[in-house]
Structure formats: structure tokens, C-alpha cells
Structure 1
Amino acid sequence: MCRVRDFLGKRFHPNAYKHLMPSDGYAPLNSDFDSFFTRRLKRRMEECFAQPVTGVAGRTILILDRYTPDYNQTQITLGTLTRALNVSSYNYLGFAQARGGCADAVEEGIKLYGVTTCGSRLEGGSSDLHTVTENLVAKFLGTEDSLVSSMGFATNSTFIPALVSKGCLVISDELNHASIRFGVRQSGASVRMFRHNNVKSLETLLREVISQGQPKTHRPWKKILLIVEGLFSMEGTMIDLPAIMVLKEKYKFYLFIDEAHSIGGIGQHGRGVADYYGVDPQKIDVLMGTFTKSFGAAGGYLAGKKSIIDRLRVYSYSGPYAEAMPPPVLTQIIASMASIMGVTESIPFSHLTASSFSGDHHPGPISQRYIPAWLPLPPELSSGVEGRERLRRLSFNSYYLHRGLDKLGFITYGHPSSPIVPMLIFSPGKMMMFHRMMKDRETPIVTVVVDYPATPLQTSRVRFCVSASHTKEDIDTILRACDELGDILDLKHGLKKRERWTMDEVSRRAVELVNMPDEERQ
């Protein structure tokens, strides 16, 4: 109906629609559908998006209360704050905090290094702290070398053009992140997509592109690079890495894995999908990830063979042009990563031998030489006890929320071990009401709702992001709220009614639910 109104309005009421009409010979800056979506749909539910917050994005968060006097044209803050349960932040392991061992380490780092190096990595902005961080990241991942970048999006968009160029082929999952798509376009390489997380579709495509070669000339490709995400941010799905490794051995392509959401939060030791599946990380050509999620910091990294990393340092756009990562962020990365790994007692210099530097095994604790001597890590962090506890709590919370929603009758996407739990809402109108009603509960809950263009218009969803800082009582509160709103908004279209559990049963049988094998999720 709104499309008809726009169509007729442009012709019979041109003055009212002049902002949509070309003027002075200039075409509209945005497409017709984007303009329609913004005016007729997004603006009507603007309160769902860009919720202003203040303070640390921890277990709870302070939101700024606001209202609109003009139907969401503008949002006016009231000057009051509401503390709400936070399931909207990527703080998977709970390291984004204002107090504790990591915060103390960052404070000490600021005293020694300041807040910036005032330059790019290749032009005076590199410090010894960057080298320490890159050595630690390589050790954490089990690769030969690594490099860090000051922005997660830029890690893909500026480094992929240094890996492939014209005459190369990039094979990309159809749901890969926008940063990957942008980097591939910048590279000039050809690109082909396969169905999301479908190994058969990938093998069929590999057979075709290898046999046909480059378009028109049919010459062999200079190189074939497969780019996939370890954990897909909108779907919560995890790649079938063992099957991809079989194809890699068979068809001899290069493999690039984006672990923005899986590194730190997935796997027995928090090392990502390679750790989860027990795959040797040195068999993966390029491992990419970000520090903005599990490590509570900012920026990203690329890791792999030393020859590849050395080339990327020089030939990527980030090296000469991007600002180097600030020292406080580097300190946060070192402190949080070391607390996940654990630190062994330092060895006196007089006792060091060649085996002292080759005895560290992956995955396992690191020796003191991998972190700066001035870095203050309390015993609970340096021992790795707190890091293991955080991984255990995150795993429990992820499984419990995912399977609890399933048993209550909701439609969810993704792997049960994923800290991202997408729950389908479908209708944009219900999406707005769900967000508002969760925020207006006795215990307010801040959620992230996702719509076009991040997802197809017909698959609107709420995306819960759980954290190690959440307790079982927090997850119970979220499940109970979803249970009540699911009945009100008619969202329970998953399991048949006779197979569903009540909320009390879900809470009582939480441990059984978490330990249930995947194949028994009925």
C-alpha cells in the first residue's frame, strides 16, 4: 500500500514528494527501494536501533532514556538512565570491564606508553608493544607469525587486496561479512559464491572453476582463495572445517578463515574453530580475527606463515596508511589473551637453552618471556584459572539459551555452542514491539534486533549475545521474558506444542539440556 501511495503521490502531489524527485538535473543519491524502506518502515521503528548507552558494556549496562515528539524524525534524551540486563554486546568473555586485572594492566600501560603512537606502522608508529602483541597472537593461534591492525573491518578490506589480484579467484560463502566483500572488490580478483555452509555446493563450484579456468581465455587461475567465516555473525552457524580441509587437500586451494566471532569464545582452549575441531592451525593458510569481541579490545589480526605475513606488512594498505593500534588497546589484548592461556613461571636467563624456546606447545600456557616484565597480572589471571572459568561459563550460557529457546518453541538459527543466538521474529512490526516490551519489563533487557539490509526483509530476528559474565539466573530471566512475549506476539512456531517444555521445566533441567547431544535436540 505504501508503494502505491508513493507512486501516485509523485504524480498527483509532486510538491509533497519533491524530496524524492530528481532536481536540477541530479539523480537521487539513494535507490528507490532504500528510500522507501527508510521512510516507510525503518523510521517507524527507529527506537529499535542506535540505542544510546553509557558506561561499560558488561553484564548490565546503563541506557539513556529517550522519546520522540515527531514520530521518530528525532530522538530526544530525557537526561535519565536505566540499568538493564545486557545481551546486546560482543563482550563474550566479559573482559570489557572497568575494574580487575586487565584494567589495571591497561592503566599501567598508559603511564609507560601514553594513548597513541601518532603514526602508521611503516612510518614511525610501530613500538615494541606491537611486536610483543604479534608474537603473543601467533603463539595463541599456533601459527608462525601474525600482524595486528587497528580496525576489524579494515583487517579484511585492506589486507585481502594484498593477497589476491586480477587473474585470481576468490570463492566466498554467500553470507560472508561486508568487510570481506569490500576487500574482494578492491582486489580486482574474480569472485564466485557458494551456498551458505554447503560443502556439496562448494565442491561443485570448485570442479567448475578449476576445469574452466579464467573467463574467455580459460587459462588456469593464478591462485584460488576460499574465504569463509568461522562463526557467522548473523546466523550463528559454524563452518564444517574438517570437510573443508578434505576439499583443500583434494583441490589445492588457499584457505582464509575469518574468526571475528569465534576466536576466544569457541573451542576447549578458546582458540577458535581449529581448536573446536582439533585441526592443526598451521594447515590453514590465513587466520583472521578481531579483538573487539572476546578480548574486550579493538582492532584485528592476520596470522599464518611468516612469508605471507612479511609480505602483508609491506603490501597492504594498512601498513603505510592506517593509524597504528594504540598502546592501551595492545595492553588489553596482551592481558586478556595471557589470562586465557595462562603464564608459567619465568626461567632465569642463566638457565635458558635452545629447548627453552621450543618447549612451549600449542595449545598450552606461555612462558613469562611472551609478556612485558612490567605488566601486572594477578595470580588468578596469570595461572589461567579465571580464563578457563570464563570459557566454561560462556559455553554453558550459550548452550542453555540456545536450547532453552528451542524447547520453548522458538525458531533459532546457528550452532548451540555459538555465543550468538539468533531468534526469528519475521515481522518488522513484531521486531519493534519485542524490543520495546523487553526494555519495559520489571528487569529491563537490552536486545539487538536485526533487519534489512543486514538480513533479508522477511527474516527479521533478535540476536542475543551471551557473555561469561551472565549468570544462570540472567539466562532464566531472558528465557522467561521470551516465553511470555512469545505468547503475546505469536512467535512460537518451532516445535509442535506436545514437544515443548514449560519455562519451569527448562530452568529445572538446565544442566540436562546443556549436556544433551546435538542429535537429540527435539
Structure 2
Amino acid sequence: MNKQILDSFTKDALEAARANNTYRSMRLMETPESSHVKIRTANGVSQEQILLASNSYLDLANIDELKQAMAQAVLEWGTGSGGARLTTGNKMPHQELEEFIAKFKGEESAITFNTGYMANVGTISSLCGKNDFIFSDELNHASIIDGIRLSRAKCFVYKHNDMADLRRVIQEAEKSRTYAPTSPIPHKLIVTDAVFSMDGDLANLPELLRIAKENDCLLMIDEAHATGVLGKTGRGLAEHYGCAHADVTVGTLSKAVAAEGGFVAGPKQLTEFLKNKSRSFIFTTAMAPAVAAAACNNLRYIDAHPERVQALRDNVKFFYESLKREGVNVEQSPSAIVPIVIGDEAKAMQVSAKLQELGILIPAIRYPTVAKGQARLRASLMATHTKEQLQTAASVMADLIRHLD
């Protein structure tokens, strides 16, 4: 191995990251992810923590009946799938999961991918090509951005959640069209997160539907942080607003559903198209059937226990109220993501580190995940947090913010 060449590729970037407070490292968790965990510190000591950093919003991963169901699925189906879905990998748990996703989301059909990232990349790059137009919210997730890049479509970025600016860029795209007789008519796709993962705010689905219809666009939403969280029964953004669904709904099974994988839900013809067109579906080994079975069981649990979704919603409301009582300036959202913007990267890291010393794990989110100067503490709530835990976190955080240099 030519270590000198490898070092030249990596050393400067790592040193720069350390210098500007954007260097990343991983924590080691010694217990299953839940509202209360143990973290191993740098000096090897186990430390009790209130966990306010998890996307497992409903805390399903620690329910005994769901763990036992997954263990049984491993005994029945083994530990792996053995191949891609279109060769030897397709198993009954995959089909049952897709059928239940479609039912849960109120769609005709669904198709699963190994991750939500693969679902976004594979769907966008299948639906659009170099002659097409994509209209993307400026705060969309990296997987959406990467899907757009792979599609080679012409991308028009509109200001975050700004419907007037979306209309403007659609008009701009129309003006850029070539109207020669041989020119193909471009497909047009509006794509957005449902819940924006760093701000916790929601896409304006009713207005997006209206704009898409008026301008002959398809509308695609990514419900990674909405499924299991938004709506009375956790079915997502359309249930929250009480409106129609987007043309294409993407989601993940790794957050509130507490399993692994991603999905696309919509018309049957859409999912058949993706089976035949999406490279991230065709050219990968299928998820383990036991994982598919676990995801299906967990979704069934959400379907049967809407009170779990309500408990999460109650916790979100209580935490916002606690922060405001403590004098912390936050804008409330119905999602389970609560951003507390600090601004300076070093100060955000300072508060996060001190919180962890005091037994509260809330990560500092910094550039390039968010814009420079917009560093924040990103709290993620779970249905099983107690009011005492949330009040403690709010009080300690407020005190640390008040005493920042």
C-alpha cells in the first residue's frame, strides 16, 4: 500500500475539520437504544445518559413481543436473503411487508429497498433523465440531492418551504425549454422532505399538491421522519393535513418503525416501473427476510397502538413548553425533532459536551449538515421519555445556554 499517497488524500481534510470544529467521531453505546442508555466515555467509563438523539421515535426496538417476533423470523428464514430480489432473494416476508406498507400508507402498492437512501436515489434517477426538470427544496436530504445528481436532470432549487419561490423556479424552467419540433417534452418533478431533518418543520403538502397540479408536475415526498410520527395514527403528512397523497411517497423503516430498509408507495404501475428501472433495487442483495418480517411486525404494532403515537405527540408538546418556560427560544413543530440553534460551531459543541457530562445526550449538528453559523443542538424525542427526563433536559440546557461565553 502506498501510504504516502493515501495520506495526501486525507490528512489535510482531517486537519481542517479539526481546526474548524467540524471533525466527527462516534460514540460507543453499551446498551440498546432507548430513552435511557449507557455510553462508554473516551477513558472507558460507562456513563448513564438520557438519550435525546434517537430517530427511534416510538421506542419499538425494545418491546419484548417485537424482539421475540424478529428472533422467531431469524429461526424460520435464516440470517440472509441469498440474492437480489429479481433473482433468488425474494421471499414471503418481503411481499408481506410491501402489502402492509401499501395498506398502512393508503396506497395501491409499495416496493421496498435496503435503505431509505437507496429508495430516494433509485426512484429519482429512474423517474427523471437529462432532459427533465426537478424542483427541489434547498434543505432536502442528501439522498434526494444525490438522486438528482445521478438523474442528470436539470435541477432548480427553491427557497426552503417558499411556495412563491417554487412557482418562480417552475416558470424559470419553462422559459429555459427548447421548443424545437424534435425536442423531447421534459418530465417535471417536485421533490421535498416531508419533515426536514435538521429543522423539524413540515412541507406544505396541500399547497405543493396545488402547484403540482397547476403545472403538470409529479410530486414526490420523503416521509423518513413523518411515518409513525405525524397524523393521528402515524400515517404521515397526508393524514396530518387531511389532504390527498403525493404521487410518489418515499419512506424509511429505520426510524419510527425501528427496523431497516426503505420503501416507495404509490400506484401499482409506479412500483412495477421501479422494479424494472431502479438500479438501487435491481443490483443489490435483498434485505434479510427476518428484517423484512420485523419491519412488518413493527408496522402492525403501530397500526394497532395509536396511543404510542399520541404519547410521542404529548412529549413533544411538553418539551417545547418546558423549553419556553426556561427562556429558550424555539419554534414549535408537530414533528419529533426539536432544534435549538446556537449558531457558533464551537459553542454548540461546548454545550453538547457539557450536557453529556451531566448525563444528557443531545448532539451538536454542524456544517456541512447545516449552514455555517447555524450550528444547533438537535433533540429527538421518543414516546417513552418521562416528563421528568424532559423537564431535566430543558432546565439543564437552558442554564448552559445562558452561561455561554
- What TM-score bracket applies, with the shorter chain setting the length? over 0.9
The CA deviation at 1:405 is 2.1
| Cα shift readout 1:24-60 (whole Å, capped 9, x = no counterpart) | 9x9963797x5663141337x76xx421212211011
TM-score (norm 2): 0.93
What corresponds to 1:488 in structure 2?
403
Question: 1:86 and 2:51 equivalent?
Answer: yes
Cα deviation for residue 220 of structure 1 reads 6.4
- 1:390 is matched with 308
Q: Name which of 384, 387, 394 aligns with 1:472.
A: 387
* Mapped pair 1:291 → 2:253: yes
| CA displacement 1:102-142 (0-9 Å, x = unmatched) | 11111111111112111111110010111110000000011
Aligned 1:298-317 pairs, distance under 5 A: 298-317=260-279
Task: Report the TM-score when normalising by structure 1.
Answer: 0.73
Q: Is the 8 A contact 2:230 2:240 kept in 1?
A: yes
Match of 1:425, SS state, is strand
Contact 1:61 1:85 in 2 (8 A): yes
Q: Deviations over 1:290-315 (max 9, x none)?
A: 01110101110001111111010111
Q: 1:380 is matched with which residue?
A: none
Q: 1:90 to 1:215 in 2, by over 3 A?
A: farther
Q: Deviations over 1:178-221 (max 9, x none)?
A: 11111111111111100000001001111222243259999564
2:395 corresponds to 1:430: no
Q: In structure 2, what is the Cα distance between the partners aligned to 1:117 and 1:484?
A: 51
- Distance across 2 between alignment mates of 1:215 and 1:420: 45
Larger Rg computed on CA atoms? 1
Residue of 61, 66, 75 corresponding to 1:96: 61
- Percent of counterpart pairs with the same letter? 27
Aligned residue type for 1:56:
P
Q: Secondary structure at the match of 2:311?
A: helix
The partner residue of 2:372 within 444, 457, 477 is 457
Deviation digits for residues 199-247 of structure 1 (CA, Å, limit 9, x no counterpart)? 0100111122224325999956421000001000011110111111111
Following superposition, the deviation at residue 482 of structure 1 comes to 1.2
Q: Distance in 2 between matches of 1:85 and 1:39?
A: 27
The alignment partner of 1:42 has SS state of coil
CA RMSD between the two structures:
2.4
Letter in 2 for 1:63: I
- Does the alignment pair 1:157 with 2:75? no
Matched, 1:57 2:36: no
| 1:320 to 2:282 alignment | yes
Match in the other structure for 1:29: 9
| 2:305 counterpart of 1:412 | no
User: In 2, Cα distance between the equivalents of 1:449 and 1:216?
Assistant: 52
Change (3 A) 1:216 1:486: farther
**Residue 412 of structure 1: how far off its partner (Å):** 3.0
Distance in 2 (alpha carbons) for counterparts of 1:440 and 1:398: 24
Aligned residue identity for 1:433: Q
Give the deviation of 1:156 after TM superposition. Answer: 1.2
Give the conservation status (yes or no) of the 8 Å contact 1:212–1:218: no
Q: 1:421 aligns with which of 330, 334, 338?
A: 338
Provide the C-alpha distance between the structure 2 equivalents of 1:185 and 1:216, rounded to a whole number of angstroms: 26
CA distance in 2, matches of 1:264, 1:176: 20
Which of the numbers 135, 144, 156 marks the counterpart of 2:108? 144
Letter in 2 for 1:87: L
CA offsets, 1:450-489, max 9 Å, x none? 1111111201101000000111111111111112212222
**Whole-Å Cα distance in 2 between the matches of residues 287 and 404 of structure 1?**
34
Higher relative contact order (CA 8 A, sep 6+): 2
Give ranges in structure 2 of 5+ residues lacking alignment.
none
- Secondary structure at the aligned position of 1:288 is classed as strand
Q: Does the CA-based 8 Å contact 1:410-1:424 persist in structure 2?
A: no
Bigger drift between 34-43 and 398-407 goes to 34-43
Contact 1:162–1:187, Cα closer than 8 Å, also in 2 = yes
CA distance in 2, matches of 1:215, 1:117: 49
Query: 1:285/1:398 Cα in 2 relative to 1: closer, same or farther (>3 Å)?
Result: same
In the alignment, is the contact (CA less than 8 A) between 1:169 and 1:189 conserved in 2?
Answer: yes
SS in 1 for 2:98: helix
> Is this contact kept in 2: 1:123–1:320, CA < 8 A?
no
**Contact conserved, 1:403 with 1:416, CA < 8 A, in 2?**
no
Indicate how the Cα distance of structure 1 residues 432 and 216 shifts in structure 2: closer, same or farther if over 3 A, else same.
farther
Q: 1:403 to 1:209 in 2, by over 3 A?
A: farther
Evaluate the alpha carbon distance shift between residue 216 and residue 60 of structure 1 in structure 2; reply closer, same or farther with a 3 A threshold.
farther
Q: Distance in 1 between matches of 2:271 and 2:354?
A: 49
Report the AA paired with residue 487 of structure 1.
R
Distance in 2 of aligned mates of 1:462 and 1:395: 20
Deviations 1:438-458 (A, max 9, x none): 1122xx111111111111120
Contact 2:21 2:346 in 1 (8 A): no
Distance 1:258 1:185 in 2: 17
> Residue 418 of structure 1 aligns to a residue in which SS?
coil
